[in-house]
Amino acid sequence: MADLLATRDGTTHAVKKIFGVGRRIDLPGGHPLTGRFAPDLWLGDGSRLACHGHGGGFLLLDRTADGVFARVAAGWDGRVAPWPTPPTLPTRRGSKPPCPGGPVLRAREHEPDAHRRDLRARCRRS
């Protein structure tokens, strides 16, 4: 093991395995982030996305300009924690709700009305 960790490739491989990099959960949806671990993004208030997942439950990162998804999720207080953040950050637009372990459950970028209906339906089922 020491010989493996003494190499750059070996150390990289071990770290990726330990932290679950590249791991994917099979979830419905065609977006490339769905089922993958959410990146640790810096948010508009200077906090990090990972810091908001420590309380358990679901975190909804709303990247829409008007915070429409955060307003929809507010109706499920205690089950979904909405976190609106300005769309000017250097990340993909849309909503990414990672669960506390970090995987992205749904990632969307277009058709906000359809996504708002989908979010309401999914929150009702949970």
The helix/strand/coil state of 118 is helix
Which tens digit of pLDDT belongs to each residue from 75-111? Answer: 787 788 888 876 554 444 444 444 444 555 555 555 5
Show Cβ contacts of residue 45 under 8 Å, excluding neighbours closer than 6 positions: 85
DSSP code at position 62? E
- The domain spanning residue 62 has which CATH number? 3.40.30.120
Domain count across the chain: 1
Which tens digit of pLDDT belongs to each residue from 4-58? Answer: 889 999 998 888 888 766 677 777 777 777 777 777 777 777 888 778 777 777 7
Lowest mean pLDDT among 50-54, 64-68, 103-107, 122-126: 103-107
Residue 19 CB burial class (10 angstroms; 0-12, 13-18, ≥19): exposed
Write down the pTM of the prediction: 0.51
* Domain span including residue 68: 2-125
pLDDT at 116: 66
